[in-house]
Amino acid sequence: MESYCDTLMTLSMTLIELTKAVQQKLGVTADGQIGPITMQAIYEAVCGHPDASAAAIISRPLDERSERCIASLHPQVQPLARSLIQIAAEHGVEIRVISGNRTYEEQNVLFAQGRTTAGKIVTRAQGGWSNHNFGLAFDIGVWENGQYQPESKSYRIVGNLGKAIGLEWGGDWKSIVDEPHFEVVPKWAQSLFEPARLAEYRARKAQGTDLFA
């Protein structure tokens, strides 16, 4: 006899797939999770007009640094970064986006740190070898009692929340764990290994081709 847990798992998977189908029909990211963007799209489809309160959640002004970093991201990544801040707040965790897109030159400056310049090593990626160079990745910081926390158990909470809305989380990496890091992988690139994926990103960037096309 099928156990209760098996039944619940089957039901959960069915609901996730159903949510994805609805999201595809509405033209929003089909991640199977009902966040503010999906709710706004559902409200507009059912009621025939936008929900001002849902729109306010998505467009709610953030701190200056978060706004600047989010604005540097690819347009399809920006709403996910905003949603993560909102969802984390609903779970009692204050986060801010502290790093977004970087030029190849900026990436090389970071790569030199701890190698040919002062400071500790903060990245293994040179220019053109980081998802940050293509507007697909961002880093967050956790704030507790108004203070930035470079280390906190809350990063793992936010990591799971990020994965639930379709983000890849650096906390799951094996070679170098990076809990503040989140990124989006376009569908066409999900079957590629990282070196091939980055090579295609570089080629598309050089050609001026949209990474999500």
Average pLDDT, the chain: 87
Give the pLDDT confidence score for residue 41 in this predicted structure.
82
- pLDDT tens-digit readout, 132-147: 999 999 999 999 999 9
96: left (phi over 0), alpha (psi -120 to 50) or beta: beta
**DSSP class per residue in 26-63:** HTS--SS---HHHHHHHHHHHHSS--HHHHHHHH----
Q: Name the least confident of 78-87, 100-109, 128-137, 176-185.
A: 78-87
- Predicted pLDDT at 55: 53
62-207 sits in which CATH class? alpha beta
CB 79 within 8 A of CB 35: no
Q: If you search the block for the tokens 């001002």, which residue do you land on?
A: 52
Confidence of residue 25 (pLDDT cuts 50, 70, 90): confident
How do 147-149 and 168-169 pair as beta strands? unpaired
At 40, list the tokens. Answer: 């706004």
d(CA 40, CA 56): 10
C-alpha of 71 from chain center? 13
How many angstroms separate the most distant Cα atoms in the chain? 64
**Statement: residue 64 has pLDDT above 80:** yes
pLDDT given at position 202: 98
pLDDT in tens, 151-207: 999 999 999 999 988 899 999 998 889 999 999 999 999 999 999 999 999 999 999
Q: Does position 10 have pLDDT exceeding 90, yes or no?
A: no
The Cα 166–Cα 184 span in angstroms is 8
Residue 94 and residue 84 in contact, taking contact as beta carbons nearer than 8 Å: no
Which residue, 29, 155, 168, 166, is CA-closest to 91?
155
Domain ranges of the chain: 1-60, 62-207
